[in-house]
Structure 1
Amino acid sequence: MSIDFEIPEDAKAVRQKVRQWVQDECKPAEQRLKDGADFKATLAELRAKARAQGLWNPFVPVEYGGMGLGPLANALVQMELGDSHLGALSMNTQGPDDATIMTLMSYGTDYQKEKYLKPLLNGEKRICYSMTEKAAGADATGMKTTAVKDGKGNYVLNGEKWFSSAASAADIALVMALTNPEASRRNRHSTFIVELPNPGYQILRDIETMAVHGPFAREMGHGHCEVLIDNLVVPEANLLGGEGNGFNMGQHRLAYGRLRHGMHNVAMAQRALDLATAHVIKRETFGQRLADRQGVQWMLADCAAELYKARLMLLHIAYKAEKGLDLRQENSIAKVFLANMVHKVVDTSLQLHGALGFSLDTPLAAWYTSIRMQRLVDGPDEVHRWITGRNVIKAYEEHGTSASAAGGDLL
């Protein structure tokens, strides 16, 4: 009996369909935007075509109007969509909306699903997630923003939020706030649905970062906002998932977000490797192609190895998700690896392009500045490594070997 790496035919078919979609529609649309086309009109046209082809909300169950793809098929699709900046947006599977849609499907009331989830599924509105705070950083249990009942059927929220991704493009926000300071650290916070714009939810600024952004970054949701929460009144009906469940719901949505970043990173890394390979084949120095130099071949080999490991990680995690198995350890390992993998591959491609790679004449320099964020968002590398290492110790103490915390269940 052998381990079967065969992809089911239906998953292969949808991957091929999405691959063709990205090449035939998304990349040409990218070029039209560069040539001056209107962003909203271009995206609307692209989305209408996608829906007409049944390419909409890939991970969303059929009963909610999605494609109903399982974890494996969705992983394959996301790895294709990452090949274009418009890929995920075209099929309404962009972050941070996608993970928040999953949260609303799992925890929303009938009222919340009708009023807030439905327009998100239809692509009519966008949503952001306001969790992170300057004072707490990676410690989601340390948030200080408060939510207090006013005795009139509302909660009143006060505090600040930091790096609320896509807030400047959002019509709805999920806001986490402290509701019970006496509870255990993981049960102190709750999540609230906030309609935007709202005078109590003040976007102070789109934080300037090191990332090189194109002219439509804000509309695409690439911004990261600093937000003041000032006497923000939220009806009790907009409490999501019950009091004290904010942290657990947050981890639920972040788990998928980490993997989606990784899936898109694979696509970007592959595109970078392709660019590098095409360049070294054409480029000659001192009478010899760069492609024929052993040192260059080693650099390409290292990139290929990184991509190979990345794909195996994602496929194994998708397998565990399909089987309903615990994948938290693998998720943390993969989150760190995939963030570093894409950085290494893009950096190598940039190096092989020389001064051309350092310029903005190729997408490499812009990618390089944006992917540095991957090692910080959804939990910095150090936190995930700490958790992973702690689990290694726990596994050894329980079983006399750390194998179960290091992929040992594969064997």
Structure 2
Amino acid sequence: MAAAPGTSPAAAPGRSSWVQSPGWDAFWMFSGIWGCGLLLLGSIIGPVIWIPFALLASARGVSIAHAWSTTYLVLFSPLLAEPRGEDRTRFVWIPLGLAIGCLALGWVVASTQRYGPDGRFTSDLWALSLYLGIFWIGHFWHFGSQDFGVLTIYRAKAGQTQPIDRKLDRAYTATMMFLIQPVIYFSVITTTAISEMAYTLLPISKPFMQGAANIAVGVSLIVSVAIVTWELRKKNRSIPKLLYILVIAFHPIILWGSVRAGSILLGQMYIFSYLFSHWLIAVGLVERINTGFYRSAGDTSRFAILRHVTVIGALTGLVMWFTRPYGDYLLFNTDGFQYKQILASITPEQVPVIGLVLGFFLGEQVLHYYSDRRLFRFRHASVRRKVAPFLLGTP
């Protein structure tokens, strides 16, 4: 997934304002738009429009594919073999340390973290707090970085090189994902482990958060209208950039509206526009980079795609096979306070295996966050030299 480039990439003059083409971008970059449209149409005319429903049913598989796409490209692919050899600290030892740390934390959670008889969150659950905090802080940072990264790509494609453009894109995405999205999330989703932790540790209440969410929705509308107005005033305005701003703007509004209206359809639209949009962008951009690399090495376009799909498909299948029996232990989003029963059910004999599983689930995400930063931030000269031609050049 596209993280925020520290050095804004530059596209060659005369290039299209799209990442690849209107059709390619429509599918990979704007699935949040067509997915919501098809869900709405499907709710009106019946299950004829099956594509988004099928994707919703395959959420775990798509999530794995998106996470391991960037992790594979950075840590294992031949494309970045040179940067890995030049900088083993960033590309070998730090990822290895992160993986070991996550596995160790997973073991501590599995072996020691249990709620007391009253079911209340206490300081004894420090390891669970750390486990959840790493994931969720990383989650909001990571999603916000992708939003800024996508705007950066389209800004480069449109030749928007003024410093104010970058600063406003950064301010907009930071406001939307680091401030507005968490406020609305914690106001409407209150029975997950991270929500219980937040309501216990922070001086907030449900009525307070509901009021804050109403204000946050209003602020999101104001800043979104402002950034769209700014974009429309430019001579080199970017249509795809404007479309992606709309995708960002709809995230908090749909989440807030789905709960306020009690609408299952709006809930599905939120999942698609927020999660699947994020996942498919990552899958699409990595596909573009990696198949471009294969073609540069002499593969035909069809064989390059087949080769890429085979690698990512095999990784996805392997991870799904390993984790399928342990889906209940994805504690990051377990709702209805069920995580308390799940932790309580872990027996001493199960600790080695469940600890490994919990550590793997966290490590999978942390390595993805880290790899994404290494791949798309463009501060490492070798990575920039290897990746930029395939990301920003002609297909």
For the aligned pair, the TM-score class normalised by the smaller chain equals under 0.3
- Please give the TM-score of this superposition, normalised by the length of structure 1: 0.25
What is the TM-score when the length of structure 2 is the normalising length?
0.25
- Tell me which protein shows more strand as a share of its residues: 1
- Higher RCO (Cα < 8 Å, 6 or more apart): 2
